Each structure stands twice: as structure tokens, then as C-alpha cells.
């Protein structure tokens, strides 16, 4: 998977929030085999131990993808992104502009506005968006080279609520990296996303809130690999009726 100018060997991206302890987080990162982790600037800026947390993440050797979580306007997101660039020393930014408090659905109008402003400012934008094709086109026109459609509301663990829409995105944007972001709750969800032809999966709560976060991180890594392998193997089409695997021709006839 190539994201902007960076090639990655792992299709799994991992969030760093909600873990019971920094030690568990570090173990989960290692178990996942990921190369990119997301970090919320807002959480680090308000946490007295933010500097220590950032130092710990830097020691993992992972590439950091800061996000604008919690922003509800284009201007707020742009300001947060610029602060994140100073704090984390990267021009990568996961752009979130929330439009609905209950579902955490993106405000797609403000999202496109913020994406354009950040792209013009030299950012490499990773937009958290819906599975709408027109919104995807507008984001690409604004300067994005990656799209991150949701599978379901953030933190819900509902899996892929509209796989047909994701399949349509894959067909409509055949050369654009697509990363399912939000809603993945189980390894089967991650595998399904990859079977649909997605290039990657970004998840957080599914691992952080599992009974065994390290074990779940490992399971998600295997699921992503299996789903990708399944997609490349060209799965059989679904059928409306049963088709016998043993031919009827040549069976003995009882008189």
C-alpha cells in the first residue's frame, strides 16, 4: 500500500486511545504489525502526561498520523492540524470534522472545505468521510490522494453497515487508496473490508476495549492479511441456488 509518498507493508493502521495502560498499548502496537498509529492532538494537549505519552509512542518507531478528532468546523480542524504539524513534525493529518453529535458522522461540506485549505498548505490529508461517491470526488478535487470511508459510526463496533456502498467506491475509484475507518468491531469485519478490495483498515476501539487487547491486535492483523489474500484470489460469485459439487451424471439408477 502506498500512501502519498510512503510505501507500507501492513494494511492495518491502529489508534492509540482508550487503552488501560501505556504498556498494553505498546504491546498491542507490536502485536498488530502496523506501521502507522493515529494520535489525537486534543487529548495530548489537555493531558498533563502528554509529553511522556508522545515520547513513548516515538520509541515504538511507528509513523504517526495525527488527527483532528473533536473538531466541529473547518476552521477548527485547520487550526488543529497546523498545531499537530508543529507538535508531531509531520505533514500527514487525519482530517475529522464532525457534523452530528450522536453518530459522529462527518460534516462533508466542512470536510471538503478544510481538506482544500490543508492541501494548499502542504498537508497530506487523510479524510474521514462517508461512503458517498460525490463527496469522494470533491475530496480528490480538493487535493486528497487517500479516502477513508466509514464502515459504521465511530466506536460502535457494528461492522460494515453498507458493504455495497464500499464496493461501489472501490469500482468508482480503482486507483485511489481506500481505508475503512470506524465501525470495525471484529476480525471478520476487517477481513470483509479487505475482501471488498479496500487497501487498509484503521481501527482503535475494537482493540483497546477488547478483553485481551494484545490478542485482538494480533487477530486483526491476521484478518487483514486473510481478507487481502482472499480478494487477490478472486472469490467465487454468490449464487441464488445450490449447485452440487458432485456431478449427477453417471450415478447409479435404481430400477
pLDDT tens-digit map of 157-199: 999 999 999 999 999 999 999 999 999 999 999 999 999 999 9
Known binding residue 80? Answer is no
pLDDT in tens, 142-160: 999 999 999 999 999 999 9
Q: Looking at 2, 94, 124, 209, which residue is catalytic?
A: 94
β-bridge pairing 2-3 and 6-7: antiparallel
Q: Does residue 248 register a pLDDT over 80?
A: no
Cell matching residue 84: 499537530
3 state DSSP class of 255? coil
Instruction: Indicate if 94 belongs to the active site.
Output: yes
% pLDDT > 70, the chain: 93
State whether residue 220 is helix, strand or coil. helix
155 labelled ligand-binding: yes
What is the rounded average pLDDT for all residues in the chain? 91
Tell me the three cell numbers of residue 72: 466541529
Is 50 among the annotated ligand-binding positions?
no
pLDDT (tens digit per residue) in 30-57? 999 999 999 987 655 544 555 677 777 7
Q: Tell whether residue 182 is among the known ligand binding residues.
A: yes
Helix H segments across 33-186? 41-46, 50-59, 74-88, 108-120, 133-142, 163-172
Report the run of H or E that residue 231 belongs to, with start and end: helix 213-232
Q: What average pLDDT score do residues 98-110 get?
A: 90
Dihedral angle, C-alpha 42, 43, 45, 48, nearest 10 °? 160
What is the C-alpha to C-alpha distance for residues 37 and 57, in angstroms, rounded to an integer? 9
Amino acid at each position: 500500500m502506498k500512501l502519498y509518498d510512503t510505501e507500507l507493508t501492513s494494511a492495518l493502521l491502529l489508534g492509540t486511545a482508550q487503552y488501560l495502560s501505556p504498556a498494553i498499548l505498546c504491546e498491542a502496537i507490536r502485536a498488530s504489525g502496523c506501521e502507522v498509529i493515529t494520535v489525537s492532538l486534543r487529548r495530548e494537549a489537555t493531558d498533563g502526561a502528554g509529553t511522556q505519552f508522545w515520547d513513548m509512542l516515538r520509541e515504538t518507531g511507528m509513523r504517526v498520523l495525527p488527527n483532528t478528532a473533536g473538531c466541529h468546523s473547518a476552521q477548527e480542524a485547520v487550526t488543529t492540524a497546523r498545531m499537530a504539524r508543529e507538535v508531531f513534525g509531520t505533514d500527514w493529518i487525519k482530517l475529522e470534522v464532525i457534523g452530528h453529535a450522536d453518530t459522529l458522522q462527518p460534516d462533508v461540506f466542512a470536510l471538503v472545505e478544510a481538506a482544500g485549505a490543508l492541501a494548499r498548505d502542504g498537508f497530506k490529508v487523510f479524510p474521514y468521510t462517508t461512503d458517498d461517491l460525490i463527496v469522494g470526488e470533491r475530496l480528490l478535487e480538493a487535493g486528497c490522494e487517500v479516502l477513508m470511508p466509514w464502515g459504521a459510526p465511530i466506536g460502535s463496533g457494528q461492522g460494515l453497515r453498507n458493504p455495497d456502498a464500499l464496493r461501489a467506491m472501490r469500482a468508482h475509484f480503482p486507483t485511489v487508496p481506500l481505508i475503512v475507518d470506524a465501525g470495525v468491531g471484529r476480525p471478520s469485519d476487517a477481513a470483509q473490508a479487505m475482501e471488498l478490495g479496500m487497501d487498509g483498515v484503521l481501527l482503535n476501539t475494537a482493540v483497546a476495549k477488547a478483553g485481551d487487547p494484545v490478542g485482538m491486535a494480533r487477530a486483526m492483523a491476521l484478518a487483514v492479511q486473510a481478507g487481502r489474500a482472499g480478494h487477490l484470489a478472486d472469490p467465487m460469485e454468490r449464487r441464488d441456488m445450490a449447485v452440487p459439487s458432485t456431478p449427477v451424471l453417471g450415478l447409479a439408477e435404481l430400477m
